[in-house]
Structure 1
Amino acid sequence: MIKRYRVSSIQKIWDEENRIQKWWEVELEVIKAWNILGVVPQNDLDIIIKKVNLSLSRMLEIEKETKHDVVAFTRMISESLNEEAKWIHLGITSTDVVDTAQNLQIKESSLIVLESLNALSLTIFNLAIKHKKTLIMGRSHGIYGEPTSLGLKFLLWHAELSRQIKRVTLAFEDVCVTKVSGSMGNFANLEVEVENIVAKNLQMPVDLISTQVSQRDRLASLFLSFANLASTFEKIATEIRLYQRSEVKEILEGFSINQKGSSSMPHKKNPISSENISGLSRMIKSYVIPALENNVLWHERDISHSSNERIMLPDVFNLITYISNRLNSVLINIVVDEKQMLKNIQLANNVFYSQPILTEAIKHSNNKREEIYDLIQKASLVALQENKDFIEVIKTYDISKFISEDKMKEILTLDYFLRKVDEIYLRYNEQK
């Protein structure tokens, strides 16, 4: 991950020093399990715990000769020991260590990711409460539809993010397993109880059946859930970008005192954070293909997955956390221009009352829907093309034969479009 988008807490989990520390944690738990089973003497275990010193530089030096990182790791450890070194890596294979340790890193990272997502979720929910009765023009196909509640938009994002958090949480649970089953996954050279003991001590359930590796459908599921989450990030960011356009100006990113929008045009205020989020979200989605292809390994394993996972896993955890934090900051500092939103509503010349009039006219007259629809459509076209008030235009079409004047007064108010908002919020809060 390039420095610009690193999250320090995530970076520490995935740096080389912590990686070999996690390898040693797994190795040591295996030795302890052998000790419990009466294979490794207590005295030897005590010496191993006391004497082993991890040295990344020494490991890398050995790896130049061995061309194998785990062999270099075990030999680096053994250099600290004497005869008790024979218990290092007993009965297990490289990926028993690597996969289990990697899952420990994922488990640690998951706590940071979920904390960030929960903070973002709270910010969005607070906006939903604050803007429950704030009117904004609803749009479909980019075209004015009817006014709606801005709070409902935020509540929609909150609901979607809540679903994404559930999916990501389940994916974490699926990935974070203990795999200590030996070279072919058949426990030929160790006891099943070794894996059970290690799993209990690491607080990760056992991978009930594996080969030389923990199967990559687990990681594919995680990357798929991250990609889905990224689509939500980009959806929100894109919405902000659309609202910040000069001809709209309804919702804008906050702009700090000394911030600059352009190197050449001093007047510019650009939605740079939302654009950044959009771009990085696309990177996360791009990892889905290699993650899926990693599940197709030769027989009990090959290492075609290893190279790209070394890149993708640190990157995706950095990016997910970075984007979540940045989006949270954007929404905390978001500028909602209610006057501009009302102004844009007024620009529609009240044509958005076409459906309320249509609905009530159908309910209170015996005329065919098509007849009423066509009449209202004609009036709306006149209002739009001639820049006239739709309400005044519709009166000239003898709408009274379809709908009473009292009913017209009842529905021709902006509050009409907010009349069910309280009920929607209540239903949401009762069921979420």
Structure 2
Amino acid sequence: MIPRYEAKAITPIWSDENKFKTFLRIELELLRALEEKKMIPSGIAETIQNTAKIHTDRIDEIELTTRHDVIAFCTSITEQLPADIGKYFHYGVTSSDVIDSALTLQIKSSLDVVMKSYDAFLEALKARAIETKMLMTLGRSHGMYAEPMSFGQKLLGHYAEFKRRRSELQEFYDNELTIQLSGAVGNYTILTPDIEESVAKKLGVKVEDVSTQIIPRDRIAKMISITSLVANAIERLAVEIRHLHHSDVREVAEGFRAGQKGSSTMPHKKNPIASENLTGLSRFLRSHLTMALENAILWHERDISHSSAERLYLPDHFGILTYALDRFTTTLNLLDIDEKVIEGKVLAHTHYLSSFYLHFLIKNCESLTREDLYTVVQAASFDVEAKSNPLKYREFIQNELKSRKIDVKLPEVTPEGLRNIYLKSVDHVFNRVL
């Protein structure tokens, strides 16, 4: 990951040193299980743990000859041991047992970091939604003003989407992180399923139901499909902020810090750079889904066409996802929500009342059809003068009805009355989500 977007907690998880340390952790747990089953002499695991060290430079040196990273790793360990100890290292397993099981543990550690950032982001989004629950804003349909709604409920809809993805990530974390120690083509020639089960329990993960020499890649594809949907949710909220940030909308603005500059030549600029950045990063995250899906289609019991892609995209994926969630948390906390501008638009426009007035007339004008009443209200909504003046809007409708010999007095609507009309169910919706 380039330094600009690096997540400091993710990078060490995917370092070569940590990968090989994880290899060693799995090998040691296997040895302990073998000792418990009396398949090898006791004390082997303890001796290796106290003696063997990870030397990535030495592993790289050996791999120049072996052209095989796991063999290079094993050689680097066994050359530090007496022959009668070293001969039991990597006992009964094939390289994919170690590689894929270690990969699961790296994914598990990465998800621990991701979900911590995710939860902080959810709390920030929930706080802004609750804060603006009773703030009236003009909802939009097709980009056009529709009806007043709760600004907080607008944010709550995004929160509900992120909450769904968080639940799916937790389900994956709890049920789909698996290891294998089943040997070549998964047939347990040397080891046994109970040894595999014992190691999995100590590592805090599950055993793969049917390992074919590798852990099936549909599991990783499922995880990346979830995180790709997280990326979609990130971009959807980022785009909403960008729209509301427009100069001619001015309902929200990203926080502008002391010394920050928005343009090299236009000092007046305050750009939505975080939301734009998050939009781009979301596209990057979603691009990994194609690789994850294609990696699931392998030859027979095993090939390594997935390996190179995973070495590249998985560290980047978890790093960028963590960075994006952390940056969005900061963006939300600093987001300037201009309540005066937002609610001022509600009070300045009247044709958004068309649905309310239409349904009022349907209940109070029995002699006209719904289509006739719709035409009356629509005419007022399209009249330039009427739609910009609450009194004239009501008068226009009432005069149209009088011309049809119907005398109906439309209710006057105050700001508090608007809340009673358009925000009457907001508490119910919030309670349902939270």
Which interval holds the TM-score relative to the shorter structure?
over 0.9
Give the corresponding residue for 2:139: 138
Distance in 2 of aligned mates of 1:184 and 1:379: 75
Count of paired positions: 429
Q: Which amino acid aligns with 1:129?
A: I
Distance in 2 of aligned mates of 1:430 and 1:376: 34
Identify if the C-alpha distance between structure 1 residues 38 and 345 changes in structure 2 by more than 3 Å, giving closer, same or farther: same
Give the corresponding residue for 1:365: 365
1:138 partner SS? strand
For each residue in 1:64-113, what CA deviation from the matched residue of structure 2 results, as whole angstroms up to 9, or x when unmatched? 11111001000001111012111111110111111111111111111111
2:266 partner SS? coil
Q: Which amino acid aligns with 1:151?
A: G
Give the corresponding residue for 1:326: 327
Aligned partners of 1:361 and 1:403 also within 8 Å:
no
Identify if the C-alpha distance between structure 1 residues 403 and 143 changes in structure 2 by more than 3 Å, giving closer, same or farther: farther
Give the corresponding residue for 1:197: 198
Distance in 2 of aligned mates of 1:65 and 1:309: 24
Mark the runs of 5 or more structure 2 residues left unpaired by the alignment.
none
State the Cα distance separating 1:431 from its structure 2 match: 6.0
Give the corresponding residue for 2:411: 408
1:188 partner SS? coil
Give the corresponding residue for 2:284: 283
Distance in 1 of aligned mates of 2:386 and 2:394: 14
Distance in 2 of aligned mates of 1:93 and 1:19: 17
Aligned partners of 1:251 and 1:337 also within 8 Å:
yes
Give the corresponding residue for 2:253: 252
Distance in 2 of aligned mates of 1:357 and 1:316: 51
For each residue in 1:186-213, what CA deviation from the matched residue of structure 2 results, as whole angstroms up to 9, or x when unmatched? 1122121220111111011111211010
Match of 1:429 among 421, 428, 431: 431
1:146 partner SS? strand
Identify if the C-alpha distance between structure 1 residues 48 and 150 changes in structure 2 by more than 3 Å, giving closer, same or farther: same
Q: Which amino acid aligns with 1:397?
A: E
> Aligned pair 1:217/2:199, yes or no?
no
Aligned partners of 2:19 and 2:102 also within 8 Å:
yes
Give the corresponding residue for 2:72: 72
1:23 partner SS? helix
1:61 partner SS? helix
* Mean CA deviation greater in 323-332 or 395-404: 395-404
1:18-417 aligned within 5 A: 18-83=18-83, 84-348=85-349, 350-366=350-366, 367-383=368-384, 389-398=392-401, 404-405=408-409, 408-409=411-412, 411=413, 413=415, 415-417=417-419
For each residue in 1:357-386, what CA deviation from the matched residue of structure 2 results, as whole angstroms up to 9, or x when unmatched? 001111222221100001111111113698
* Mean CA deviation greater in 295-304 or 33-42: 33-42
Q: Which amino acid aligns with 1:269?
A: K
Aligned partners of 2:153 and 2:430 also within 8 Å:
no
Q: Which amino acid aligns with 1:194?
A: I
Aligned partners of 1:171 and 1:225 also within 8 Å:
no
Identify if the C-alpha distance between structure 1 residues 82 and 234 changes in structure 2 by more than 3 Å, giving closer, same or farther: same
Distance in 2 of aligned mates of 1:46 and 1:280: 45
Mark the runs of 5 or more structure 1 residues left unpaired by the alignment.
none
State the Cα distance separating 1:171 from its structure 2 match: 2.5
Distance in 2 of aligned mates of 1:45 and 1:257: 57
Aligned partners of 1:147 and 1:414 also within 8 Å:
no
Identify if the C-alpha distance between structure 1 residues 136 and 424 changes in structure 2 by more than 3 Å, giving closer, same or farther: closer
Identify if the C-alpha distance between structure 1 residues 403 and 283 changes in structure 2 by more than 3 Å, giving closer, same or farther: farther
State the Cα distance separating 1:412 from its structure 2 match: 6.1
Q: Which amino acid aligns with 2:111?
A: S
Identity %: 36
Aligned partners of 2:135 and 2:343 also within 8 Å:
no
* TM-score, length basis structure 2: 0.94
Identify if the C-alpha distance between structure 1 residues 401 and 333 changes in structure 2 by more than 3 Å, giving closer, same or farther: farther
Aligned partners of 1:106 and 1:172 also within 8 Å:
no
Identify if the C-alpha distance between structure 1 residues 408 and 347 changes in structure 2 by more than 3 Å, giving closer, same or farther: closer
Identify if the C-alpha distance between structure 1 residues 120 and 347 changes in structure 2 by more than 3 Å, giving closer, same or farther: same
Q: Which amino acid aligns with 1:363?
A: K
Distance in 2 of aligned mates of 1:430 and 1:355: 26
State the Cα distance separating 1:262 from its structure 2 match: 0.7
Aligned partners of 1:174 and 1:218 also within 8 Å:
no
Aligned partners of 1:238 and 1:274 also within 8 Å:
yes
For each residue in 1:169-226, what CA deviation from the matched residue of structure 2 results, as whole angstroms up to 9, or x when unmatched? 2223344112111110111221212201111110111112110100001000000000
* Mean CA deviation greater in 259-268 or 379-388: 379-388
Aligned partners of 2:175 and 2:206 also within 8 Å:
no
Cα RMSD (Å): 1.9
State the Cα distance separating 1:403 from its structure 2 match: 7.5
Aligned partners of 1:358 and 1:373 also within 8 Å:
yes
Aligned partners of 1:148 and 1:418 also within 8 Å:
no
1:209 partner SS? coil
State the Cα distance separating 1:413 from its structure 2 match: 4.8
2:256 partner SS? coil
Distance in 2 of aligned mates of 1:237 and 1:344: 22
1:9 partner SS? coil
For each residue in 1:337-365, what CA deviation from the matched residue of structure 2 results, as whole angstroms up to 9, or x when unmatched? 112123333453x1111110001111222
Aligned partners of 1:244 and 1:271 also within 8 Å:
yes
State the Cα distance separating 1:141 from its structure 2 match: 0.7
State the Cα distance separating 1:309 from its structure 2 match: 0.6
1:383 partner SS? coil
* Mean CA deviation greater in 413-422 or 290-299: 413-422
2:149 partner SS? strand
Distance in 2 of aligned mates of 1:401 and 1:142: 37
